[in-house]
Amino acid sequence: MRTKFLLLLILLLAIGCAPKKVKIYDSQVVPEVRSGIVQYAVTLLGKPYRSAAKGPDAFDCSGLVHYVYRRFDVAVPNSTDAINKVGHQVSEENTMVADLVIFKIKREFHVGIMISKREFIHATKSRGVAIDSVEGSYWRRNFSHYRRIL
C-alpha cells in the first residue's frame, strides 16, 4: 500500500499536479485509517473550490473534510460550525495525521486535515484543494485549535 502511494505521489509530482513534495507520517507509525485518509485527501489536490460544495467535483473546506472522512466510514458533519463541536481539542504537540486544524477567519471557521506535523490539506477559494503550512504567517495569525475526531 505504501509503495502504491509513493508511486502515485511521484507521478503527481512528475506531471506537476502537486505544488510541492508531500511528506506524511510513516503508515506503520499511525493507524491505517489515518494514513488512508491522508493518502486519499492528497488525490483530490487541485479540485476547484465552490461554496457549499461537498464533492466529488468541487469542495468547500467542510465539504472536503466530510467527503474524505465519509469514504472511510467516519461520520463528520458537513459544516465548519458543527465540525467544531465533534471530537475533542488536542494540543499542537499531540497532533497526528488526519486530525483537523481549525482557523477563525473574521467570524467564520475554516477547517483542514493535517497531513504532517506542519502541513494540512484544505479547500481554498483561490487555489481549490491545496496544501499549506500552519506555520505560514496568515495561518498562524488565524489559528484557532486542533481537533481529533478519530
Tens-place pLDDT, residues 89-129:
999 999 999 999 999 999 999 999 999 999 999 999 999 99
Query: How many angstroms separate the CA atoms of 145 and 90, rounded?
Result: 8
Average pLDDT of the chain?
86
Query: How many angstroms separate the CA atoms of 25 and 126, rounded?
Result: 27
* Domains observed in the chain: 2-148 (3.90.1720.10)
Tens-place pLDDT, residues 26-44:
444 447 899 999 999 999 9
> Is the entire prediction scored with pTM above 0.95?
no
Candidate from 10-14, 60-64, 74-78 with smallest mean pLDDT: 10-14
Query: How many angstroms separate the CA atoms of 126 and 1, rounded?
Result: 32
Q: Which residue has the cell 483561490?
A: 126
Looking at residue 4, what is its pLDDT? 53
Q: 128: Cβ–Cβ under 8 A, 6 or more apart, which residues?
A: 46, 47, 48, 49, 58, 59
Looking at residue 24, what is its pLDDT? 43
| DSSP for residue 49 | B
Query: How many angstroms separate the CA atoms of 145 and 73, rounded?
Result: 24
